[in-house]
Amino acid sequence: MIIAVSGKGGTGKTMVSANLVKLLSKTGKDVLAIDADPDSNLPDALGVNVNKTVGDVREELKKDTSLGKIPPGTNKWDILDYKIMESITEKKEFDLLVMGRPEGSGCYCAVNNMLRKIIETIATNYDFIIIDTEAGLEHLSRRTTQNVDIMLIVTDPTHRGILTAQRIGELASELEIQFKKLYLILNRVKKVHEDNLKEKISQIDLDMAGIIYEDPAVTEFDLKGEPLINLPESSVSVSSTKKIVDKVLNLEKN
């Protein structure tokens, strides 16, 4: 099952992705985390050092080709597949693949196009793939997330965040991208605002996966630079995400 996490910049996509990786890998499932944000920060949240990104692999292959190091008649996709597999960081609990960005002013879309192919190739090796997407709507128009089963749109409790979430929902249906499920996650909620926010959300055409409350432990970890994956299960953000996992994955079974 492929789950993508999207939304406006800074709404909590990486925090939600890290919590999902943590909770799903705890259940003994094979989990691949993909950082598809060029401004990559999922490795930090997962506490993983990454040596090579897919962007790096692509640059290497380009260099090797121009230096004539690739024998004629070799299928470049085979080499790329192999090199991409090599760039996956394997941890005990989960694997991580970072898309990164190509060097210089190169277009990010080449790396993005590769993401679609990678998902097709390696999806069957894992029970769950969690994709932390690039902020905004681009991943939809580039169709990098078109094979995703569950799209989780994260918003913070701001008008603009909710508007972006709504646009992601609308664009997906305009582009006829058929997610099995598309949900909204309302993040950084303070209890005093909860009822007002629920009222606001009820007016937009998105199903709610759940609420994640403002979590002082996340702020503390951020200050210390501690990986969010080490948050205790009792912390508000992890327990709120757990409720979302239960709801979303149970609904999926029905």
Ligand X SMILES: Nc1ncnc2c1ncn2[C@@H]1O[C@H](COP(=O)(O)OP(=O)(O)OP(=O)(O)O)[C@@H](O)[C@H]1O
Name residue 207's amino acid.
Answer: D
Per-position x/- string for 229-248, each x denoting binding to ligand X as judged by CB under 6 A, each - no binding: --------x-----------
The count of chain residues that interact with ligand X, using the rule CB under 6 A, is: 20
Per-residue binding letters, 13-32, with Mg ion (x by CB under 5 A): xx------------------
135 or 204: CB nearest ligand X: 135
Q: Considering only residues 50 through 89, tell me which ones interact with Mg ion, judged by CB under 5 A.
A: none
Count the Cβ atoms, other than its own, within 10 Å of residue 116: 15
Should residue 12 be labelled a site residue for ligand X when binding is judged by CB under 6 A? yes
In the bound state with ligand X, the residue whose beta carbon lies nearer, of 83 and 142, is 142
Residue 206's alpha-carbon distances to 10, 156, 157, 220, in angstroms, are 20, 15, 15, 32
CA distances from 110 to 41, 80, 227 (A): 20, 13, 30
Q: Is 10 in the site for ligand X (CB under 6 A)?
A: yes
Q: By the 8 A CB rule, do 150 and 20 touch?
A: no
Query: Can residue 9 be called a binding residue for ligand X (CB under 6 A)?
Result: yes
Is residue 188 near ligand X by the rule CB under 6 A?
A: yes
Does 37 contact ligand X by CB under 6 A? yes
Distances (CA, A) of 164 to 188, 194, 243: 16, 19, 24
Q: How far apart are the first and last CA of the chain?
A: 15
Position among 35, 59, 95, 215 found at the interface with ligand X (CB under 6 A): 215
Q: Which residues inside 96-155 make contact with ligand X, applying CB under 6 A?
A: 135
Q: Is 11 in the site for Mg ion (CB under 5 A)?
A: no
Tokens of 172: 């997906």
Q: Which is nearer to ligand X, 122 or 155 (CB)?
A: 155
Q: How far is the CB of 40 from Mg ion (least distance, A)?
A: 8
What residue type is assigned to position 134 of the chain?
A: E
- Contact between 219 and ligand X by CB under 6 A: the answer reads yes
- What are the angstrom distances between the C-alpha of 70 and each of 11, 56, 66, 245? 43, 17, 9, 45
- CA–CA separation, 101 and 33 (whole Å): 17
Query: What sign results for the dihedral spanned by CA atoms 81, 84, 90, 93?
Result: negative
Q: Nearest approach, Cβ of 52 to ligand X (angstroms)? A: 21
Residue 222 is a binding residue for ligand X (CB under 6 A): yes
For the record, the structure tokens of 4 come out as: 């993508």
Binding residue for ligand X, selected from 218, 229, 244, 248, defined by CB under 6 A: 218
Residue 123 binding result from ligand X, Mg ion, none, given CB thresholds of 5 to 8 Å by partner type? none
- Give 183's strand partners: 152, 207
Binding interface with ligand X (CB under 6 A):
7, 9-15, 37, 41, 135, 187-188, 212, 214-215, 218-219, 222, 237
